[in-house]
Amino acid sequence: MTRTIDAWAQHPNARFVAQPWLSTLLRWTRQTMSEPPPVSATLAAMDEAGVDQALLCSWFGPNGPLIDNDETAAHVRAHPDRFVGVASVDLRYPVQAVRELRRAVNDLGMVALRVVPWLWNLPPDDRRYYPLLAECVELNIPFCTQIGHTGPLCPSEPGRPIPYLDTVLLEFPDLVVVGGHVGYPWIDEVLSLAMKYPNFYVDTSAYAVHRLPQGLVDYLRGPGRTRVLFGTNWPMLSAERCLRKLDELHLDDETRALFLGGNAARVFGL
């Protein structure tokens, strides 16, 4: 039986909803959000599309926590069969950030670190990331990040795969990296990294599957069958909307199962 895992979701709180960049992000999906949805809405959206588990991520930015690790952990404790926590930390304070990452993994049970480069306007080869990348290796967890252009009206350059992620993957050969949001318009750079580095993965969050770049679909059908993960970026997109035209990808049964959940289960140790 196919297990479906959403590799990138978040449950917004009031601080997250109040961010000025959120409205420019939501315009891509033609929706508004004046207040955070209840957890029941997140669960209902998962149920509608048959999503078994969602990786809920915390958010830290230059002004501090938006969704802190304890908030995310509380959702996981309330629904341990449905949610898995992904940590975030404050890049401004490297020592505290490493300690918080250790706490999030060892005490709160989180399975990965996510940093969103456009939020900081800092690409992942910036020196502020390096203590955290080394700690991810020591903790044996993936580093999750955003690749490609930004939905919000913020600079896209920090999400460019080459040279930034290329440098990280060269200097941290034991680090597992998951690039979220596909990587458009630099899809050739994304695919070149995926073919070059066996520890680099791509998730399809922020895209309905029928809108995926053809190059990524071809990679998924062929050599990338074990390297592409399904994701939504909920609540910006629902799983139902993302997967509505999944049959049009013409995936064989094994590739479909790996894409929907098998790859995420392996990468995140679920």
The DSSP 8-state label assigned to residue 87 in this structure reads B
Overall residue count recorded for the chain in this entry = 270
Task: Report residue 9 as tokens.
Answer: 């979701």
Question: What is the number of other CB atoms lying within 10 angstroms of the CB of residue 85?
Answer: 24
User: Tell me: the pLDDT tens digits for 204-240?
Assistant: 999 999 999 999 999 999 999 999 999 999 998 999 9
For domain 5-268, the CATH architecture is Alpha-Beta Barrel (3.20)
Boundaries of every domain in the chain: 5-268
Q: What is the pLDDT of residues 83-117, one digit of tens each?
A: 999 999 999 999 999 999 999 999 999 999 999 99
In the structure encoding, which two tokens stand for residue 178, read together?
């998951």
Rounded distance between C-alpha atoms, residue 123 and residue 170, angstroms: 15
How far from the centroid of its chain's Cα atoms is residue 104's Cα? 17
Q: Dig out the tokens for 135 from the structure.
A: 């700690």
Among residues 147, 141, 142, the alpha carbon closest in space to that of 123 is found at 147
List the beta strands (DSSP E) in the chain: 5-9, 53-57, 59-61, 64-67, 83-86, 113-115, 143-146, 177-180, 200-203, 228-229
Dig out the tokens for 166 from the structure.
């290329």
Q: What is the pLDDT along the chain (270 residues), one digit of tens a residue?
A: 679 999 999 999 999 888 877 777 666 666 676 778 899 999 999 999 999 999 999 999 999 999 999 999 999 999 999 999 999 999 999 999 999 999 999 999 999 999 999 999 999 999 999 999 999 999 999 999 999 999 888 899 999 999 999 999 999 999 999 999 999 999 999 999 999 999 999 999 999 999 999 999 999 999 999 999 999 999 989 999 999 999 999 999 999 999 999 999 999 999
Q: What is the dihedral of CA 62, 66, 69, 74, to 10 degrees?
A: 180
User: pTM, whole model, 2 decimals?
Assistant: 0.95
